Structure 1
């Protein structure tokens, strides 16, 4: 259930007479705050006071690059691994934090719906601060619920989710404790020590690997860690350029060394750490 991002009261979805089914619907709270349901099916629950810029999050070019890269199946092993870590749960409600354009959410819903009858009524929600990303996600995955929202002020009722996935996304521990039910599961993905190390070698004299220390999550018990490592063969320079567009390291490249890197690099190291936590 959504809650109002302004007063934290429950939101109810109401229709407006004389308008189309989607464009004529709004979420309302008892304090008369209202939020339109967009024609694509998402709701914007990121008020201006929670924004750090006019249009926060990834822009259209970044979204397009990420989608093209993900559709090349380069990160499908990660998606499959995340899905596997949730396949044995009887979760009815799941949250994708920082869901972007919905790639992982969409594959998760598809995988779980096939895994067991218990998941046929699964409700999967995705949030992101990028309106462009959420608009894309809602359009391409109409059976899921998407909202433009902040992970630091989650617009959901307390103890609403059976689990959540967090793939390279920022979050607030207190909010995670609030919205995930006791015994609920949090699957968190972070870069392993050698993830994209070739990119670092192209721009840094001294390369420092990512930390492998398991992050402490107050209110949660760490259950297990899985490391996923493989070498990604680059099919074409555009695939690598799309990947570069997705990561902060892109800002370290200039036009000349970026072109050289994407045209000469034939493979790149992929290294993910998947940690599973359980809510106390």
Structure 2
């Protein structure tokens, strides 16, 4: 069905400089104090003022983003996404706004979008947001920092974080009362076989709970399944997504390139919390 672009809902943001509401006029978001943020041609808005940046190009670089996009497109993490969506279907208010914290190139963001909700994604890496906004035009993407999110208090009924830093104070500020927050973190054996090729003694992930003090734990799940690779490009893309990629030497890269089959575990912990006053 063709949707007239003029009927598309306008994203709701607050100014990162003065916390007043931003209103879209033509192609610029502007607040009552006249701070202005242009909408890029891909549709996203950059709400990370230069003085808030800690480096020239914060976040993942282009190569890492492209590797992750190629890997996720092959469906290796689809079982994780299915588990996340099942929790969403079970608990959420289907009309409430959704927020993807550290959304990357929008793989999870897009698949949470329905005709009833508005879905927002934030990442600090501009290259990543550019890809997400161009590809998934039904969602609202912005460049911003998780430590100071460009949203009004209690805007979202459902927030999730896949591997992103968990900043409880800021996330609970934008979460509605009775709303939910889902965290996805690596469990003990996540990518253990891949790590074992790199480290002489591979450590298992520390699954000690990151203490979330203000929210109530509603449900916890462990998801473990084997990923079987018959294409070395997929393994190399997976490696490029990981924090231990920089430890991989040329010899290991050559070994993985020549390997016809490789198997390693995906192992995740999903924890769903609710905000209750």
The unaligned stretches of length 5 or more in structure 2 are 1-11
How far, CA to CA, are the matches of 2:165 and 2:144 in structure 1? Answer: 12
Q: Does 1:266 align with 2:262?
A: yes
How far, CA to CA, are the matches of 2:258 and 2:81 in structure 1? Answer: 27
The unaligned stretches of length 5 or more in structure 1 are 16-24, 114-119
Regions of 4+ moved over 6 Å: none
User: Aligned ranges for residues 88-127 of structure 1 at < 5 Å?
Assistant: 88=90, 89-91=92-94, 92-109=96-113, 113=114, 120-127=115-122
Q: Judge conservation of contact 1:152–1:171 (CA < 8 Å) in 2.
A: no
- Following superposition, the deviation at residue 49 of structure 1 comes to 1.7
1:47-76 residue CA offsets vs partner (Å, 9 max, x unmatched): 112211111111221111111101111111
User: 12, 32, 35: which is aligned to 2:23?
Assistant: 12
1:252-275 residue CA offsets vs partner (Å, 9 max, x unmatched): 111112221453361111101111
Give SS of 1:32's match: coil
Give SS of 2:21's match: coil
Q: Judge conservation of contact 1:196–1:268 (CA < 8 Å) in 2.
A: yes
1:147-190 residue CA offsets vs partner (Å, 9 max, x unmatched): 00101110100000001110001131110110001111011100
Q: Does 1:65 align with 2:67?
A: yes
Q: CA RMSD in A?
A: 1.2
- The corresponding residue for 2:151 is 156
- The corresponding residue for 1:55 is 57
Give SS of 1:277's match: strand
TM-score with structure 2 setting the length = 0.91
Give SS of 1:136's match: helix
How far, CA to CA, are the matches of 1:152 and 1:237 in structure 2? Answer: 37
How far, CA to CA, are the matches of 2:201 and 2:262 in structure 1? Answer: 22
Count of aligned pairs between the two proteins: 262
- Following superposition, the deviation at residue 202 of structure 1 comes to 1.4
Q: Judge conservation of contact 1:232–1:270 (CA < 8 Å) in 2.
A: yes
How far, CA to CA, are the matches of 2:21 and 2:62 in structure 1? Answer: 32
- The corresponding residue for 1:246 is 241
- Following superposition, the deviation at residue 78 of structure 1 comes to 0.7
- Following superposition, the deviation at residue 107 of structure 1 comes to 1.5
User: Aligned ranges for residues 193-204 of structure 1 at < 5 Å?
Assistant: 193-204=188-199
How far, CA to CA, are the matches of 1:218 and 1:14 in structure 2? Answer: 40
How far, CA to CA, are the matches of 1:145 and 1:263 in structure 2? Answer: 41
